[in-house]
Amino acid sequence: MPNWKMSLCTITTTGDKMINMPLFKTMFRKQLPIFLAYSLALMAYTWLLMWIFPTIAGNESMEDLLKSMPQPMLKMFNLDEGAFSNFNNYMATEFYSLIWILALSVFVVTTAISLIARIVDNKSIGSLLASPLSRMQILATQVAVLLSGLLIVVTVSIFSVFIGSLIWDIKIDFGRYVNLGLLGMLFYTAISSYCVFFSTLFNEAKKATGWAGGLTFVFYSFNLVSNLTDKTEWLQNLTLFSLFKPLDILNNNNTAAEAAVLAVVTIIVMTAAFRVFIHKDFPV
């Protein structure tokens, strides 16, 4: 029997608190190895890029390589002639606009499915529903575990840059990276919201994964294609990924509008997810 099932006997309601701490601690411990694996992997990759940067900064051959690339490809991946000479541009294009987005998107989808859809699929939800907890508490606690893990991974990723700047003597405006982390949290929380929604909507983890992962892939593809030409620019209106542009954030552009939209999307979709979960008939 899974450890989290065995711990159900310790679960008690505490007034009207939204988060049940015994359940939170149990599920958090179960997910912690995954949280740490993503955090350490992204930290290592960040430091690898920072270690390499001094050797390629201002390298004429790298600049020539960029100039030789087709303009549509440069626009697709937000590359410009200063991508390898300016540290902020370098990190935005080489890490935050690609690896960070892909890795954390996978993290959010798989973690949401594991915390919610998986326990419905394997009928473990019956044990939770039979406990003293309300459905609101169950889902709120699972979402809290998801967002806590996301906060850990994002925080480690951002502070890795600060530590790396001290190690390799790279001057940075750390405040901009903090802003990047804050908007990143909002962005991935918005992605989390529809992952949670699909996890509550479907009884099969495979189907929930397909919809959550598929929508994320479509959003990402729309964002890439929208950068190709003026004729495809309208696709930015159909994707959340157009609201998170690391290069703009690190260049200190105002992103208040993007943050507001992401917050509204999160509230609407997460509210829908809770309504589905509270009123749904689960196969137990």
Instruction: For residue 9, name the pLDDT band (cuts at 50, 70, 90).
Output: very low
Helices (H), the chain: 3-6, 21-56, 60-68, 71-76, 87-91, 99-112, 118-121, 125-129, 135-167, 174-201, 205-226, 246-250, 256-279
pLDDT (mean) for 50-60: 81
pLDDT in tens, 127-177: 899 989 999 999 999 999 999 999 999 999 999 999 999 999 999 999 999
What pLDDT shows up at residue 143?
98
At a CB cut-off of 8 Å and minimum separation 6, what does 48 contact?
Answer: none
- Are 269 and 197 in contact by the 8 Å Cβ rule? The answer is yes
Higher local confidence (pLDDT), 107 or 54? 107
* pTM of this structure: 0.90
What pLDDT shows up at residue 93?
85
pLDDT at 250 over 70: yes
pLDDT (mean) for 214-227: 93
List the domain boundaries for the chain. 29-279
Higher local confidence (pLDDT), 264 or 5? 264
What pLDDT shows up at residue 134?
93
How many CA atoms, within 13 angstroms, populate the side-chain half-sphere of residue 186? Answer: 21
- Are 129 and 282 in contact by the 8 Å Cβ rule? The answer is yes
Cα–Cα distance between 4 and 127 in angstroms, integer? 10
- Are 158 and 178 in contact by the 8 Å Cβ rule? The answer is yes
